[in-house]
Amino acid sequence: MSVAGVALTQETIGEDLKVTSARLENFSAEDVLRWSIEEFGADVALATGFGAEGCVLIAMLSTISPRTRMFYLDTDLLFPETYALREKLEARYRIRFERRATRLSLNDQAAQYGERLWEREPDLCCRLRKVEPLKEMLSGLRAWITAIRREQSPARADAGMVQWDDKFGLIKINPLAAWSELDVWNYIVTNDVPYNPLYDQSFSSIGCVPCTTPVRIGETVRAGRWRGTSKTECGLHAKRIKTK
């Protein structure tokens, strides 16, 4: 199965993911999505945190393959604006997002690990509320689609169009890897894609309420996440990238 002559077989997964990824660099994001669906069928799903990039992919995928699974990680700590956006996207594109979440309620977490774990041990909090639910979701898939862009942070700078995800043990597809922030917003404006209104209030990367702040002029896109700490990632996107 292939799109524009790029086929991925069990052999090529092991042998030349980098070659496949290089060839996909010439594809549009829509064609990378088409390729993903043709290649992995029901075994691929889109993960979204409802960021601007995710909204772009949701808009594209809802046209290309509306039955493809789209899921989000609900930490129970997302902004009210984010939950409202989820509903707006569902109505606009006539889709339904799968909610994935820990079974550990916030009260149970506080009882077990102490109040406001995110302030003392954000890595543990992210592991409990994001990484573990993601691992469970991905265990049933052969590939997942993410909205990361290389420009977003040094940790994402070497993201491939397609790569082996060593952390979760499946293929990871990043159709927007080469996109700039301007590309994202051009697409949103041109196609009237719903987006989180917090972007209009100086937020540039939106996660959980306790760990997200607006950014000031001159700061990097993710500077508002876990402000005042050295933490830059949730742990969903491992730095280490390699072919299988």
Name 45's bridge partners. 69, 144
Residues 6+ apart with CB under 8 A from 123: 231, 235
Q: Using the minimum distance from each CB to ligand SF4, give the nearer residue, 56 or 128.
A: 128
Provide the minimum distance between the beta carbon of 134 and ligand SF4 in the complex, in angstroms, as a whole number. 11
Angle between helices 80-93 and 52-64 (to 10 degrees): 20
The distance of closest approach from Cβ of residue 78 to ligand SF4 in the complex, given in angstroms and rounded to an integer, is: 8
Which single residue brings its beta carbon nearest to ligand SF4?
Answer: 208
In whole angstroms, give the CA distance from residue 57 to residue 11: 28
How many other CB atoms sit within 10 Å of the CB of residue 27?
17
Handedness of CA 114, 119, 124, 126 (dihedral sign): positive
* Of the residues 125, 138, 147, 241, which one makes contact with ligand SF4 according to CB under 6 A: 125
Q: Does 164 bind ligand SF4 (CB under 6 A)?
A: no
Letter for the amino acid at 58?
I
- Determine which one of 55, 208, 211, 234 is catalytic: 234
Concerning whether 234 is annotated as a catalytic residue, the answer is: yes
Tell me the window of 33-41, 80-88, 124-132, 174-182 that interacts with ligand SF4 (CB under 6 A).
124-132
SS3 label, residue 3: strand
The nearest distance, CB 176 to ligand SF4, in angstroms, is: 21
Structure tokens at 235: 């742990």
Contact residue for ligand SF4 among 49, 51, 122, 133 (CB under 6 A)? 122
Of the two residues 21 and 109, which places its CB atom closer to ligand SF4 in the complex?
A: 109
Asked if 126 interacts with ligand SF4 (CB under 6 A), we say yes
Instruction: Please list every residue from 196 through 225 that binds ligand SF4, using CB under 6 A.
Output: 207-208, 210-211
Our finding on whether 75 is near ligand SF4 (CB under 6 A) is yes
Length of the chain in terms of residues written: 244
The CA-atom distances, in angstroms, between 59 and each of 70, 71, 95, 234, 240 are 11, 14, 10, 25, 29
Residues that contact ligand SF4, how many (by CB under 6 A): 13
Can you tell me which of 22, 77, 155, 221 binds ligand SF4, judged by CB under 6 A?
Answer: 77
Site string for ligand SF4, 99-118 (x = CB under 6 A): -------------------x
Distance CA 118, CA 36 (A): 35
Nearer to ligand SF4, 25 or 108 (CB): 108
CA distance 175 to 173: 6
Residues that bind ligand SF4 (CB under 6 A): 75, 77, 118, 122, 125-126, 129-130, 207-208, 210-211, 234
